[in-house]
A and B are shown apart, each in its own frame.
Chain A
Amino acid sequence: MNDKTFLAELDAQSRVKQEEFFDHIASRLQRPRQKTAPIRTLKGAPEDWDRYELSLEARITQFVKHWELAGGHAHRLAAMKDAVLLIQDMVRHTGAKHLIMQDQPELEPIQTALLRTKEELQREEQQDINLTIWNAHGLDDAAKGWLVAAAAQADIGITAAHAAVSYTGSVVLPSSEISGRTVSLLPTMLIVIIPVLRLKTRLGEVLRPMDEWPLAERPAGIHFVSGPSRSADIENDLTIGVHGPGIVHALLIEEA
């Protein structure tokens, strides 16, 4: 049996079973099957909460505070060029060898600059940098596998956030062709670029519009990241970098 027929057979069985399954639920609830959308009087967060709205300055302050309390590092930067300088500096000071970054358009200045850094460091015979850009366009399975392998050995991963939430201190990272899920997961250190206009106060401001996203545009993975990977499993003692990045830098870019 090939994979397709196997899956088709499983799916056919599932569709038969599901009727029995749903009917059973309805019968336990002592009513007929509910076929139309139930009326909801309450939805989402309490109404008072929806009125909680901070100014941009307060959002930035709150994000920085919460991100740092969770063990992350935050940097307020006036412009993208400052982010470029900071990252170049980080690469030099940490001796990073393998870098991976998304091919998101907002990261272009960083791509260009890191290429320059790479050449400079080569000339100075200081450091041999390997920079991988995540863009799966037109790649076959083997080439896609190479991207994941590059992420797995990367010292630093760089991504831009779709949004950020100040109250929870979170960045929101959806997957796409030019935005790999492993880029924010496998490297030892993660750098997230956040244009401040994308910074919201509440989680609901990011989640609610996502209910409306058309099926075809819904990413396979949307990751909300709120600090370094951590565990308290050994004697309730905090350990960072258990599986995901143990060091996370949020770069808030204030230019519009």
Chain B
Amino acid sequence: MLRGVGITKRFGGVTALRNVSFEVGAGELVGLIGPNGSGKSTLFGVISGFHPPDDGTVFFDGRHITGARPHTVAQLGIARTFQIVRPFTGMTVVENVRVGALYGRGERRIAVADRHARELVEFVGLEQRADTLARNLTLAEKKRLEIARALSIQPRVLLLDEVFAGLNPTEVRGAIDLIARIRSQFGVTIIMVEHVLKALMETCERIIVLSYGEKIAEGAPSAIAADPHVISVYLGKTYAAR
């Protein structure tokens, strides 16, 4: 469904991604891990059209989407969340979600978009905060809003960038539940970047590991956890740092 071939992305002198290829099938839940600065967010940026790659190709449903602009990618059905949440702070929760309901699905009527938005706000458990300005939400609520907003465009692929980061264990539980419900209700394909490994291990079918912009491993969670290379570059480092 989503496929990247030989993606390279440089920022000035920094090569954030080097010849990365990947493939994700319909309905899959794939984890993307790697140490800080290994290029995970950049890969999302490349897929979603924010960072046109210097080399390589992205295919969505067999269609070439490399270099397409973000709104086009969104309208095709690929949604992303931002690692650092970016709600429209001056809008209420429902107003935030309404934007995608109007522009992502090509709805014209505000009333209809509002209804979709309220349903999604309820789905992510923010109904009590529906008419609150987004700037007044807690971090956990902002992350939920970020997810509701991504869902508002009726995506077929969902790119989640560290939606667990900064949450306490209870909130992480809630977020894991939410992702399970998203899969069962919407059947979307998900790629998620996460540092909370335990959460990834128990939810993902497959994990891709990046290090210094290169893909160094890919496989079932159990295999990844046992891979000596992964342990040395990834687990070793982060655990040592903590």
Partners in one complex: no
